[in-house]
Amino acid sequence: MTNSGQTQKINKSLKYSVLDGAAWSAMAGLTQNYITPFALALKASTAQIGLLASVPNFLMSLAQLSAPRLSAKAGSRKGLVLPVVFLQAVMWAPLFLIPYLVPDGKVWALIGFVSVSGVLGAMANPAWGSMMADLVPLRIRGRYFAARGRIANLVALVFTFVAGGILQLVQPNVFLGFAILFGGAVVSRLVSFYFLTRMWEPPAPRADGSPGRFSETIKDLGSSDLGRFAILMAVLSFSANIASPFFSVYMLRDLHFSYLSYVIVTSAGSLAYVLFVTYWGRRTDRAGNIRVMRIVSLLVPAVPVVWLVSHQVWFLVIAQTFSSFVWAGLELAAGNFVLEAAPPERRTNWIALYNATNGIAVCLGSLTGGLLASRLPPILGYRLLTLFVLSGVLRVFVAIFLPRWVRDVRKVPTIGTFKLLFTRHRANHLSTSG
């Protein structure tokens, strides 16, 4: 294939990937912030909410460990991605039947179906990430994923509002609203599947004809920058997920927010993420991913603690905006660092291992939060606020050890923190040619 022909295929694939991300985000907007409200409508307990957050993540972690082997058996990365994405789309359908067809154990059925859907999506992640790393040139990676993320999060924001409006309109028949949401999720993921079929998969890089044993990748966890980074991010995921499944519970159950107020607070975070991801994308390209991570890691501990200041809707909108500023930088830089630091021939292994360690940490954090939520002494009258403080304290670990354990893998210019944060950084065109 000529260089111009390959460049054309890459450019088309990157455009299709943006459309895939937008369709996936429509699914996420309709469901991500509403699984917990659906569980609460099914009379889930706090412990069951913890299990709803932890069990799927644990199973997703195990599934990702098998992704490199399954991808090899499928004959290509795309050969694994397409069938599991299609099945994930189908798995949203049974959820809206739970209130009507499951007489007992409705919450347990929800946990089961969400787990299967999550496992199918997780199986695609390492192969998809490896393929995208080969498609997106290094010099524009931060800006491309920032632009893709901006569009995806804007779509998610729109559909989050749509979902909240639907639930508000159909009250008191709230289960009809959830049926509409989950039906929309099926359609959205099928649209995502279509755009994935249109993407071109570059030949997977190989070294000496082999990506190496998965066990060799595991051995590098404690001895490489990427391995130490994976451990730190797992600690952060554990710390964050002690609290994160319970922000919805706090708003809907403890503060008695309406669905409209709930949507306003959660959507504020989504809108802020759209704005901030581009801001951080330019800075990761300019100063490196680890430099950005070091800055935002200092702010991460404050994210759950600010919820103690006020429970008014207007203040929680500010709190969510601050959270999105921090997490937009952290998630973008972390994802790009994994793609950069992983050897190309072992990239699928590393993405699988990184996602698996994070998933297990999310599971353990959610279980821990669920067990502690009803046992901790209250702060300002609410036990969940104590959980938020504990989460903030544990996040300090990452801020302390990240600068000592991990270095960036590419040479970047030295830029002062003030200049990095407050000066404008020129964005280059995202074309892959040249």
Whether residue 206 lies inside any domain: the answer is: no
d(CA 354, CA 339) in angstroms, rounded, equals 11
Tens of pLDDT, residue by residue over 118-134, are 889 888 888 888 888 88
Q: What is the pLDDT of residue 210?
A: 47
Whether residue 34 lies inside any domain: the answer is: yes
- Upstream peptide bond of 172 is cis (omega within 30 degrees of 0): yes
Q: Show the tokens assigned to 40.
A: 């609460």
Looking up residue 262, the CATH number of its domain turns out to be 1.20.1250.20
Sole residue written with tokens 């907007």 = 29
d(CA 299, CA 302) in angstroms, rounded, equals 6
- What pTM value is reported for the model? 0.70
Q: What is the pLDDT of residue 222?
A: 60
Tens of pLDDT, residue by residue over 370-400, are 889 888 999 998 999 999 999 999 999 888 8
At residue 206, φ and ψ (nearest 5 deg) are -135, 150
Check if the beta carbon of residue 280 is closer than 8 Å to that of residue 329.
Answer: yes
d(CA 301, CA 44) in angstroms, rounded, equals 29
Whether residue 205 lies inside any domain: the answer is: no
Q: Which domain holds residue 29?
A: 9-196+213-422
How does DSSP classify residue 76? S
Whether residue 428 lies inside any domain: the answer is: no
d(CA 408, CA 218) in angstroms, rounded, equals 20
Q: What is the pLDDT of residue 53?
A: 79
Sign of CA dihedral 388, 390, 396, 398: negative
d(CA 387, CA 96) in angstroms, rounded, equals 31
Output the furthest CA–CA distance in the chain (Å, rounded). Answer: 67
Number of structural domains in the chain? 1
Q: What is the pLDDT of residue 16?
A: 94
Check if the beta carbon of residue 49 is closer than 8 Å to that of residue 249.
Answer: yes
Whether residue 370 lies inside any domain: the answer is: yes
Q: How far is CA 74 from the centre of its chain?
A: 26
CA distances from 201 to 19, 134, 152, 354, 429 (A): 16, 9, 22, 22, 23
How does DSSP classify residue 95? G
Whether residue 1 lies inside any domain: the answer is: no
Whether residue 357 lies inside any domain: the answer is: yes
Q: Show the tokens assigned to 94.
A: 């049974």
Which residues of the chain fall below pLDDT 50? 207-211, 428-434
Whether residue 105 lies inside any domain: the answer is: yes
